[in-house]
Amino acid sequence: MNSINEKKFDLTLDNKEFFNAYGRNKKVGMSTLGCRVNQYETEAMAEKFIQEGYDIVNFEDYADVYVVNTCTVTNMGDKKSRQMIHRARKKNNSAVIAVVGCYSQIAPDKVSEIEGVDVVLGTRNKGDVVYWVSRVSYEGKKIVRVNDVLKNKTFEDLKIDEYQKRTRAFLKIQDGCNRFCSYCAIPFARGAVCSKSPDKIIEEVEKLSHNNFKEIILSGIHIASYGTDIDGDWNLLRILQEIDKVKGIDRVRIGSIDPQFFTEGVIEKMSKLEKLCPHFHLSLQSGCDETLKRMNRRYTTSEYEKIVYEIRSAIENASITTDIIVGFPGETEEEFNKTYDFLNRIALSKMHVFKYSRRSGTKAADMPGQVDGKIKDERSSKILELDKKLEKKFMNKFLGYNMDVLYEQEIDNDGTYFEGYTPNYIKVVTRCEKALDLEGKILCTQLESTKDGYIEGKLKKFI
Ligand code: SF4
C-alpha cells in the first residue's frame, strides 16, 4: 500500500486511479469457463491486472484475488461456475473473489449469495474488474454491478496488448446476439449485437502481426451479425477482406458461424482470401427441419446442405465442423433419426454434441415434450460414435499429404514432442529426433498415421 496511500488521492468513489493501484503486488488467479469470447475477455482482464502491478498465478495456486469468468450456456456451465468459486474459496478463505460473465449477468442474486463471493459483475463491465476488486478490499462489503445488457448497445472495448501465449490470438470483434433461438439464454446474458469498430480491429491485427503472431481467430457471440449495428456498410466479409491485407499474419480463422451468413456470392469471395483458414464451424444444431423450426433456427436442412457442398467445391481441403443438440423438447425418435441420417450423409469433419439443457426464461424451457435424460444420453452416444467414424474418415483423406502445421505447444517437456494444427484444423502431433523449439512456428509436416482425434506427423525439413 505504502506509496499509494502516501500520495494524495481524492477518495471519491469514482477515483479509479486510487482503486486500481490499491492491490499492487498481489496475486490473481483466473478461471475461464465457456467460449472463446470468454477466453479473450479473461486475457484482457489479466492484462488490466498486470498493468496495475498484480501478478497472474495459476488458478490452482494460492492467490489474493480469484476471478471466475462464468458461462451459462448449459446447466453444466452454471454448475462448473459454482464449483470454481468454491475451489477458489478453499484455496484462500480470505481472498477477494470476483465473479464475472454470463452466469453472473443472468443470475446476479444467486451468484452473490454464494459464500465467499465479493464482487459480481456482468458481461459488459469486465473492463472495470481491477477497480471493483480493489474497491471491495477497501470498503469491505459485497459489490454487485450488473448492467441491463438488453438496453446497453455499446461494445465494451477490451483490448489486449500483450498476449500471454504467443502463437495464436483470439480477437473479439463482436458481442451480443439478436437471434433468440428458443433454447438459448445467451441473448439475455450478452445483450444486443454490438461490433468493434473496423479501425480498432485493424489496429489490433497490426499490433498482433508486429508481435509475431501467426494466427488470429476472430470471435464473437454471433459473428455473422458483425457490422449490422455500425455505420458504413460493414459486414464480416468486408472486415475479413481488410484483415487479409495486413502483412505479417499468416492465418485468419473464424469462430462459430451462423449458416445464414453464406448468402449468394459470399463463399466465392471468401475463397479468394489468402489468409482465411479453410475451416468453418457452421452451427447446425439439428438435422431435422421440424426440430429446427421449434429451435427458431432460420434455415432448413437443405439450405444447410447446399452451403456445405458449395464450401467444399469452392475451397480446397475445407473442413466443416458443427454443434448438435440432442433431446430438444419434442424430439421424437423419428426426428432424431432424421438428424442422424442427415449427419451421416453430409459427413462433417467434427461434431460437438450437447444434450439439451433447460434454461429458464427461454421459450424451449416451457415447451411440452421435454426429453428424458436417459434418452438424451443414448442419442448423444450415437452421434458421438458417428462423429468418431466421420472424423477419422476426414483425417484419412489427408494421409501422405504435406501440410503446414502451426505448432502451438510442447507435449512433453524434453523439447521433442509437439502439437499443432493444419489450416483446416486437423490436430497434428509430431515427435522430433532431437530437442527443438517448434512453438509458434509454421512448418511443413507430412501427415503419417491417424490416431484417436489426431494425426501423427513428421517434419519435412530438418530445422
Ligand atoms: S444464434 Fe442462437 S444459439 Fe447462437 S447465441 Fe444467438 S440465440 Fe444463442
Identify whether residues 239 and 268 lie together within a single domain. Answer: yes
Residue 312 lies in a domain: no
Report pLDDT for 181.
96
Identify whether residues 82 and 17 lie together within a single domain. Answer: yes
Q: Is the pLDDT of residue 345 over 50?
A: yes
Residue 290, CA distances (Å) to 4, 169, 327, 386 in order: 63, 38, 13, 22
Identify whether residues 216 and 262 lie together within a single domain. Answer: yes
Q: CATH code at 356? A: 3.30.750.200
Identify whether residues 24 and 134 lie together within a single domain. Answer: yes
Residue 80 lies in a domain: yes
* Chain segment 250-299, per-residue pLDDT in tens: 999 998 999 999 988 999 999 999 999 999 999 999 999 999 999 999 99
Q: How far is the CA of 295 from the centre of ligand 1 (A)?
A: 10
Report pLDDT for 411.
87
- Among 100, 116, 145, give the residue marking a domain's end: 145
Report pLDDT for 381.
98
Identify whether residues 353 and 434 lie together within a single domain. Answer: no
How many domains, the chain? 4
Identify whether residues 121 and 158 lie together within a single domain. Answer: no
Instruction: Could you list the beta-strand ranges (E) of 350-452.
Output: 350-355, 402-410, 417-421, 427-431, 442-450
Identify whether residues 439 and 392 lie together within a single domain. Answer: no
Ligand 1, atom 1: closest residue by C-alpha: 179
* Chain segment 31-58, per-residue pLDDT in tens: 999 888 998 899 999 999 998 889 999 9
Nearest atom in ligand 1 to 256's CA: 4
Phi, psi of 226 (to 5 degrees): -55, 130
Please tell me the least confidently modeled range out of 95-99, 165-169, 398-402. 165-169
Residues composing the chain? 463
Identify whether residues 86 and 199 lie together within a single domain. Answer: no
Q: CATH code at 454? A: 2.40.50
- Among 128, 145, 162, give the residue marking a domain's end: 145
Identify whether residues 186 and 115 lie together within a single domain. Answer: no
Identify whether residues 168 and 247 lie together within a single domain. Answer: yes
Residue 135 lies in a domain: yes
Q: How far is the CA of 292 from the centre of ligand 1 (A)?
A: 13
Average pLDDT for residues 111-131, to the nearest whole number?
A: 92
Residue 311 lies in a domain: no
Identify whether residues 130 and 168 lie together within a single domain. Answer: no
Beta bridge mates, 285: 324
Q: Rounded to an integer, what is the distance from CA 281 to the centroid of its chain?
A: 12
Could you give the CA distance from residue 323 to residue 205 in angstroms, rounded to a whole number?
A: 28
Q: Is the pLDDT of residue 170 over 60?
A: yes
Residue 258 lies in a domain: yes
The candidate with the shortest Cα–Cα distance to 124, out of 104, 98, 96, is 104
Nearest atom in ligand 1 to 221's CA: 5
Residue 310 lies in a domain: no
Q: How far is the CA of 185 from the centre of ligand 1 (A)?
A: 8
Q: CATH code at 253? A: 3.30.750.210
Q: How far is the CA of 258 from the centre of ligand 1 (A)?
A: 9
Residue 350 lies in a domain: yes
Average pLDDT for residues 344-352, to the nearest whole number?
A: 97
- Among 350, 380, 397, give the residue marking a domain's end: 397
Residue 306 lies in a domain: no
Q: Is the pLDDT of residue 9 over 50?
A: no
Residues with CB under 6 A from ligand 1: 177, 179-181, 184, 186-187, 221-222, 258
Report pLDDT for 442.
93
* Chain segment 361-419, per-residue pLDDT in tens: 899 999 999 999 999 999 999 999 999 999 999 999 999 999 999 999 888 778 788 99
Q: Is the pLDDT of residue 451 over 80?
A: yes
Q: How far is the CA of 228 from the centre of ligand 1 (A)?
A: 16
Yes or no: say if 294 and 280 are a contact pair by the CB < 8 Å rule.
Answer: no
Report pLDDT for 168.
84
Confidence label for 178 from pLDDT (cuts 50, 70 and 90): very high
Ligand 1, atom 8: closest residue by C-alpha: 184
The candidate with the shortest Cα–Cα distance to 415, out of 390, 428, 432, 398, is 432
Q: Is the pLDDT of residue 10 over 50?
A: no
Identify whether residues 135 and 22 lie together within a single domain. Answer: yes
Q: Going by DSSP bridges, is the β-strand pair 455-459/427-431 parallel, antiparallel, or unpaired?
A: parallel
Q: CATH code at 115? A: 3.40.50.12160
Could you give the CA distance from residue 401 to residue 423 in angstroms, rounded to a whole number?
A: 13
Residues 6+ apart with CB under 8 A from 47: 160, 161, 162
Q: How far is the CA of 222 from the centre of ligand 1 (A)?
A: 7
Residue numbers of the domain that contains 438: 402-459
Q: What is the mean pLDDT of the chain?
A: 90
Among 186, 295, 352, which is best to mutate for testing ligand 1, by the most ligand atoms less than 8 A from CB? 186
